[in-house]
Amino acid sequence: MKIAISTMGQTVDSEVDSRFGRCRYFVIVDLETMQSRALDNSAATGSGGVGVSTTQTIIKEGVEAIITGNCGPNAHQALTAAGIKIITGITGNVQDVIEDYRSGKLKTSSQPNVGTHTGMNPGKITD
């Protein structure tokens, strides 16, 4: 089983990026081997529909869940349609987040937790 975490850096020592669609990287973790690698989010700088295009990228990685800070309505709909679990409201160190996920502490969210275009304005987080 693999999970994807939106991150500011390329390693498990980095912090969770609050944005899903416009995050700089994803750290993809294989929970069986605990191997991880970074995925450059090429969709991050797109002009629109970024939540949808980022989802298309993530799907190709075959992950069962994504862990992020905020997930808007378009991305949420796309991820749900693709059968990927969505965990939002997460901050902090990626290593800690992986441990929390493994121990079942993180709950999936059935709804988007922010509106569209939230990731375009990283200084302002609404909930």
Partner 1 sequence: MIISVASGKGGTGKTLVATSLAISLKDGHKVQLLDCDVEEPNDHIFLKPVIDRSETVSVPVPRIDEEKCTYCGICADICAYNAIAVFGRNVLVFPELCHGCGACRYFCPEKAIVEKKRRIGIVESSSSDGIAFVQGKLAVGEAIPIAVIRKVKEYTDSDGIVITDVSPGTSCPVVQSIVGSDFCLLVTEPTPFGFNDLALAVETVRKLNIPCGVVINRFGVGDTKVEEYCVRENIPVLLTIPMDAGIARLYSRGITLAEGMPQWKEIFLELFKKIEDLVNERSRYS
CB of 34 or CB of 120, closer to partner 1: 120
Alpha helices in 1-124 (DSSP H): 50-59, 73-81, 94-102
Residues that bind partner 1 (CB under 8 A): 46, 48-50, 52-53, 55-56, 59, 74, 77-78, 81-83, 116
CB of 46 to partner 1, least distance (A): 7
CB of 28 to partner 1, least distance (A): 18
CB of 91 or CB of 121, closer to partner 1: 121
b/e for 85-120, b at 16 or more Cβ within 10 A? bbbbebeeebeebbeebeeeebeeeeebbbebebbe
